[in-house]
Structure 1
C-alpha cells in the first residue's frame, strides 16, 4: 500500500529533523512534507475506493453465500419432509391395505360359514319335507290300496 510508504517517509523526516532545544519542536523541510501530503491526498481516494470496493465485494459474497446456504438448507428440509411424508403415506396405505384384506378375509369366512349353515338348514328342511311327502305318498298309496280292496271285495 503506497499510503503506508508515504506515512513512513513523513515519520522518517520527523525523526531525522533537527529539534529546537527545550521546546520539543522540530525543524522540517516544509516543502518536502507538503509534497508528501499532496501525494497522500492524490492516492487516498484510490486507496479508499479500493478498500470500499473490497468491503462491498466481501459483503456481497457473504450475502450471496448466506442466501445460497439458506436455499440449500430449505431444499434439504423440504426433501426430508417429502421423504418422511411419502414414507408415512406408504406406511398408512400399507396399514389400511392390511386392514381391508383382514376385513375381507373375515367377511369371506363369515359368508362361507353362513352359506354352509343356510345350505345345511335348507337341506334339512327339504329332507324333512321329503320325509313328510314320503309319508303322505305312503298314506295315499295305502289308502288307494285299501279302497281298491274294498272295491274288489264288493
Structure 2
C-alpha cells in the first residue's frame, strides 16, 4: 500500500529533523509536513477502497469455499447412503438366493424320494405281473405234461 510508504517518509522526516535542546521537541518544515498530509489524504480513499475490496473478495471466497465444502459433504453423505442401500440390497439378494437354493434342494430331495417310491411301485407291479405270468407258464407246462 502506498500509504505505508508515505507514512515511512513522514517518520523519516521527523527522525531527521533538528531537535530543540532540552525540550524533546523538534523543528519540522511546515510545508513539507502539510504536503505529506495532503498526499496521505489523496491516497487514503484509494487504499481504503482497495482494502474494502480485498475484504469483500476474501468474504466471497470464504463463502464459496464453505458452499463447496457443504456440497462435498452432501455428496459424500449421498454416496455413503447409496453404498449402505447397495449393501442392504446385496444382503437381501444373498438372503433370497440362499432361500431359493434351499427350496430347490428341498424340492430335489422330495422329487428323488418320489421317484424312488414310484420306481419301486412300478417294479413291484412288474414283479406281480411277472409272478402271475410265471404261474400261468408253470400251470401251462403242467398241463402239457
The aligned length equals 129
Structure 2: how far apart are the matches of 1:96 and 1:86? 15
Structure 1: how far apart are the matches of 2:66 and 2:53? 20
Structure 2: how far apart are the matches of 1:28 and 1:6? 16
Bigger CA drift: 44-53 or 59-68?
59-68
Matches within 5 A, 1:97-116: 97-110=97-110, 112-114=112-114
Aligned to 1:16: 16
Please tell me whether Structure 1 or Structure 2 has the larger radius of gyration of its CA atoms: 1
Structure 1: how far apart are the matches of 2:13 and 2:43? 20
In structure 1, stretches of 5+ residues that fail to align are: 135-154
SS in structure 2 at match of 1:22: coil
Structure 1: 4+ residue segments shifted above 6 A:
121-125
Structure 1: how far apart are the matches of 2:83 and 2:46? 54
RMSD of aligned residue pairs (Cα, Å): 2.8
Matches within 5 A, 1:1-154: 1-110=1-110, 112-114=112-114, 117=117
- Greater relative CO (CA pairs within 8 A, separation 6+): 2
Structure 2: how far apart are the matches of 1:11 and 1:52? 26
SS in structure 2 at match of 1:13: helix
> TM-score, structure 1 length as denominator?
0.67
Shift of 1:109: 2.3
In structure 2, stretches of 5+ residues that fail to align are: 133-145
Shift of 1:120: 5.8
